Amino acid sequence: MKYKLICSDLDDTLIGSDGKFGKGLKDAIKEYEERGGKFCIVTGRMTSGAMPVCKELGLKGELATFQGAVISDIESGEIYSATVIPCEKAAEIGEYIEETGFYYQTYAGEKFYTEKANEFTELYGKLSRADYEETGEKLSEYIKRKRINPPKILLMDKPEKIPETVEKLRKRFGKEFLINTSKPFIIEIIPHGINKGLAVKYIAERNGIRREETICIGDSENDLTMLEYGGLSVCVGSGSETAKNAATVIAPGCDDDAVTWVINTYGK
């Protein structure tokens, strides 16, 4: 077997626009693993939002969430690796975002938190299968009062506003944090030294798999490090132009069971 590890992004890659994975995917993963391969999900989602998908697919072993900030075991829940934003810095970022008036949220445990829910909150909760809680006070104050050290801070707004906001955030916090997008309306902030590529590297080395024996599949900007790491890098046909430019293979779109196609084409 040329490729012993396949790592896939979740939303808009493994999961289609209807929020479901392809009908052939579960069987394709099972057959790939029976041949000796290993399949992992590497996602920006919070752990509690990704875990149900892993269990539906019958996956075991490592799961990388929050863009690789947390790597845990699917069956036991044991956390192998976790990196967070220090409470003081998370509050500082929150205060800056509050000055701009953007909607944002952060994470602790199995929930995400925001000052007051709106349509973005409901959309995110539905997409990520995650529960949320309103703080009833400025989120930055809640972070300080509860001493929250989150793995990620996330902003949402209309797609046309995102590029300018990304640049402003990078100018202010880019030396300390990785700031990128996962959807046209989402900005994610995570600690520097954490990304999906490093998560794949961690999983590969943990399982004695060489870089050239890995396949990485993604669709957006926050998948670039993973695509750069993979021995074979694949972007789904519905992905962003940035991700397509970083890939060596363009697969079918996420609504056309792209990950199943990758497994059946290259996982033999």
Query: Which pLDDT score, from 0 to 100, does residue 157 have?
Result: 93
Tokens of 47: 């752990």
- The one-letter amino acid at 170: R
Quote the pLDDT of residue 13: 97
- What is the C-alpha to C-alpha distance for residues 265 and 226, in angstroms, rounded to an integer? 20
Measured CA to CA, the distance from residue 31 to residue 47 in angstroms comes to: 26
What is the predicted pLDDT for the residue at 92?
A: 97
Helix 87-100 to helix 139-146 angle (10° resolution) is: 170
CA distances for 268 relative to 1, 6, 209, angstroms: 6, 12, 16
Is 0.85 surpassed by the pTM of this model? yes
Distance of alpha carbon 39 from alpha carbon 18, whole angstroms: 22
Position 174 scores a pLDDT of 95
Query: CA 182, CA 9: separation in Å to the nearest integer?
Result: 10
Cα separation of 140 and 59, whole Å?
37
Q: Is the dihedral of CA 193, 3, 55, 49 positive or negative?
A: positive
Return the structure tokens found at 258: 């792209």
Q: What is the pLDDT of residue 130?
A: 87
For residues 115 and 103, what is the distance between their CA atoms, to the nearest angstrom?
9
* Helix pair 87-100, 162-173: axis angle to 10 deg: 140
pLDDT in tens, the chain (268 residues): 899 999 999 999 999 999 999 999 999 999 999 999 999 999 999 999 999 999 999 999 999 999 999 999 999 999 999 999 999 999 999 999 999 989 999 999 889 999 999 999 999 998 888 899 999 999 999 999 999 999 999 999 999 999 999 999 999 999 999 999 999 999 999 998 899 999 999 999 999 999 999 999 999 999 999 999 999 999 999 999 999 999 999 999 999 999 999 999 999 8
In the chain, the domains with their CATH numbers are: 5-82+194-266 (3.40.50.1000), 87-191 (3.30.1240.10)
* pLDDT, position 240: 96
- Distance, CA of 169 to CA of 163 (rounded, Å): 10
pLDDT of amino acid 109: 86
Place of tokens 């057959």: 31
Q: Which two tokens stand for residue 250?
A: 């363009």
